[in-house]
Amino acid sequence: MRIGFIGTGNMGGAILKGYANSSASDGNEILIHNKLTEHNSIMAEAMSLSGFANTKIRICNDNKDLATQSDIIILGVKPSNVDDVLREIAPAAGKIIVSMAAGTSIESMEGFLNEASAGSGDTAKIIRIMPNTPAQVGEAMTAMCRNANVSDEDFALAKTIFDSIGRAEEVSEDLIDCVIGVSGSSPAYTFMYLEALAKAAVSNGMAPDKARVFACQAVIGAAKLALESKETLEQLRINVCSPGGTTIEAVKKLQANGFMDDVTEAFQAAVDRSKEMTAQ
């Protein structure tokens, strides 16, 4: 199978590296194309330096060339470039096209394809995804949705790519804005929480490097426990709070300062912005 990546910047590049580094890519060929020629060679060199020399990677001359040769085409371009790229690859619209562009609906992508080549949008197999940057370390949370032309078999094939960079789940497209709030943008809020924890540890005498490790491992551990436990998140919190102990004092302070409301409002701001982008 040939997987083509159009645009290997931050997000497309993270998915490409995660996939190339996993057994899911064994026996498959990866094709790449960016707008600037030097970015193609920088990416190819970075991949070979990172030990992906065994993965067969080919740089294509242009997007059309890549689309013609690929079975699955992954668009890692900015939302403002999706229109142009889809028009370029419209003749290859029979392939599975995966887009990660925020605020770009499946319907609008079908429309761009139709404008370029009448009817191609009606038959195109389009999968819309919303990944997040932990893809760089194989821990992405990727939401996937599809149009009616994508069969279960096509979908399962594409899902192997996103399962290989973390966890992937199918959702209906009307949940994509919610996904942005809960996983697409949320690494940023988690980094803020880590920053505050590590800074507080440093001001209590811990070396910065150590403070970062302690804060990060505590978050990884809590998340793993929450994923594996059958108890509610509320109960998991209560379990840590012994009466008269230390944690209950921290939790009381967070509650008094509106921590939960702050997170809810931040989440909603990301969701509202996503809806605004889709409407533009």
The footprint of ligand NAP (CB under 6 A) covers 6-12, 33-36, 39, 63, 76-79, 81, 84-85, 100-102, 130-133, 184
Q: Positive or negative, the Cα torsion across 116, 119, 124, 127?
A: positive
In the complex, residue closest to ligand NAP by CB: 9
Q: Which is nearer to ligand NAP, 36 or 148 (CB)?
A: 36
Q: Which is nearer to ligand NAP, 76 or 211 (CB)?
A: 76
Q: Which is nearer to ligand NAP, 16 or 124 (CB)?
A: 16
Helix H, strand E, coil C: the string for the chain is CEEEEECCCHHHHHHHHHHHCCHHHCCCEEEEECCCHHHHHHHHHHHHHCCCCCCEEEECCCHHHHHHHCCEEEECCCHHHHHHHHHHHHHHCCCEEEECCCCCCHHHHHHHHHHHCCCHHHHCEEEEEECCHHHHHCCEEEEEEECCCCCHHHHHHHHHHHHCCEEEEECCHHHHHHHHHHHHCHHHHHHHHHHHHHHHHHHCCCCHHHHHHHHHHHHHHHHHHHHHCCCCHHHHHHHHCCCCCCHHHHHHHHHHCCHHHHHHHHHHHHHHHHHHHHHC
Compute the least distance from the CB of residue 34 to ligand NAP, in Å: 4
Compute the least distance from the CB of residue 3 to ligand NAP, in Å: 15
Q: Which is nearer to ligand NAP, 87 or 199 (CB)?
A: 87
Compute the least distance from the CB of residue 80 to ligand NAP, in Å: 9
Q: Which is nearer to ligand NAP, 33 or 212 (CB)?
A: 33
Compute the least distance from the CB of residue 64 to ligand NAP, in Å: 10
Q: Which is nearer to ligand NAP, 143 or 211 (CB)?
A: 143
Compute the least distance from the CB of residue 45 to ligand NAP, in Å: 14
Compute the least distance from the CB of residue 2 to ligand NAP, in Å: 17
